[in-house]
Amino acid sequence: MSKFIASPATTLSGDLKVPGDKSISHRSIMLGSLSDGVTKVSGFLEGEDALSTLKAFQAMGVEIEREGDKVTIHGVGINGLKKPVGPLDLGNSGTSIRLMSGILAAQDFDCELIGDESLSKRPMGRVINPLRDMGAVIDSDEGRPPLKITGGQTLTGIHYDLPVASAQVKSCILLAGLYAQGNTCVTEPAPTRDHTERMLTGLGYEVRVINNQMCLTGGGALTATEIQVPSDISSAAFFMVAAAIAPKSDVTLLGVNINPTRTGVINILQLMGANLTLSNEREIGGELLADIRIQSSELQGINIPEEFVPLAIDEFPAVFIAASCAKGETVLTGARELRVKESDRIQVMADGLTILGIENEVLEDGIKIQGGAFKQPTAMIESHHDHRISMSFAIASLRCDYPIEINGVDNVMTSFPNFVELANSAGMSIIEV
C-alpha cells in the first residue's frame, strides 16, 4: 500500500468505533513491563508504532502475549529488564524512542535505539539534554537517532522547566525519575497530555501534581493492574472533521478518549461552529470517555487560541481541512512543534492545500488558511510518508468534485490500520493502490 485514491463522496453516516488510543497503548506496554505482576490490556492499538514498543520490550526479556487488541504483560519489575541482543528498532515511532530513552538511561546495560528513515531525521536533543543533566550517557547522530545509551549510570533527580510544552519530553523525564535518586519535577509552560501521570497513579506510583508541575520520587515500585484503552481522539478527529464538512452527515464516534489534555480538537471545531455534541460521558481506568456525535456544519474561520495548541497538536492536519472548508480565514500561531513531527506538517499541509486551490500563508510557527472550494480538476498530494497528512487529505474528498491521489500512505498502518475500511463503511470511497 503506497497510494490512496479518494473519490468524491457527499454522505457520511453511522456509529463508528475507531482504534485504541496510541499514547495509552504505548504506555501500557512500557509501564506494564516495569510492574510487579500481570497487567491485562484491552483495546490495545494494533498499529505499527505501538507494536514497535511491544516488540522492544519483548526483546528486553518481557513475556508479552497478544490476541488481537488484548495484551497480557508479565511484568518484570522496575529493575527486571535484560540487555537486548541487538539494537531496538522502533520504526516510525517518536513516542517509543523518546519515552524509552528515559527508562533505558537508567538500566545497567548498554543499548541502541534505531528507527526508519523518517524517525532518523527527528530531533532528540530535547530528551537527551535533560537526561544528561540527570547523569545519563547518550550518544547520537548530531541530536538525531540512532541513540546509543551507556548503562550503569546513577541518575539524580532534577527540577526541569520544559522550554516547549511536550508530553513526550515530560514523560521521558518522569520515567527516568522512577530510577533517579531524590525528587524529579517537571514544570510545563502549558498543559500537555497527562496519560503517563494517570497510568503511574493507576499502577500505584505516587505522582504529585501542583498546578503545572509534576513530581515523583525515585525508588518505588509499580503494581500490575487491568488497563482498558479508549478510542483514540487523534484518530476520531479525522471523522469529526469529515462529518463537519460533508454535505450530508450524521456520525457518532463511540467510546472516545476525552481526557481534558487532549480535547483541543473538540474545542476548536466547536469554536468554528461544528454541530458536535458529547453524550454518555464516563470514566474507565482513570481516563474519561464519551460518545461524540457530529452532523453537517457551516464552519467559520477563527483565530485558534494558543492555549488549545498543545491540546490538539496531533490533530492539526485534519483541522486544516476543516479550515479550508470554513467561511473566512483561520489563523494558527504558536505551533512550531508541528514542524518536527513525522514531517514538517505546516509546510506539507500548505503544499497540499495549494494544490487543491486553497489560499494559505505559512508562518514561522503556524499558518493562515483562507476558506474556499477545492478547485483543481486533478490533484496529486505528497504525504511525505506522514500518516496524519495522508488521512487528512483523504477526508477532503468529501468536498471535492474530482479524485484526490495521495502518495506515500504506507505509514497509516502506524496509527489507524483500518482507516480505509472504516471510512468506506461510513460512505466514503477510498481505494488503496
Residues taking part in catalysis: 314
List of E strands, 38-115: 38-42, 63-67, 70-74, 88-89, 111-114
Cis peptide bond upstream of 403, omega within 30: no
From CA 258, how far away is CA 230, in angstroms rounded?
9
- The string of DSSP letters for 307-361 reads GGSTTSTTTHHHHHHHHHTSBSEEEE-S-GGGGGSSS-HHHHHHHHHHHTT--EE
Distance CA 21, CA 16 (A): 15
Q: What is the DSSP letter of 108?
A: S
Query: 331 φ, ψ to 5°?
Result: -125, 130
Tell me the sheet residues that pair with 316.
none
Q: What angle is formed at CA 137 by the lines to CA 136 and CA 141, rounded to 5 degrees?
A: 125
Give the phi and the psi of residue 292 in degrees, each rounded to 5.
-120, 120
Whole-angstrom distance, CA of residue 47 vs CA of residue 409: 14
Please give the single-letter amino acid code of residue 282. R
CA 109-110-114 angle, to 5 degrees, is: 135
Phi, psi values for residue 91, rounded to 5°: 60, -120
Q: How far apart are CA 213 and CA 24, in angstroms?
A: 21
CB atoms within 10 A of CB 260: 11
Q: Which helix (H) or strand (E) holds 11?
A: strand 11-16
**Angle at 11 (CA atoms; ends 7, 14), nearest 5 degrees:** 115
19 and 253 in contact (C-beta within 8 Å)? no
Angle between helix 125-134 and 167-177 (nearest 10)? 20
Rounded distance between C-alpha atoms, residue 62 and residue 66, angstroms: 13
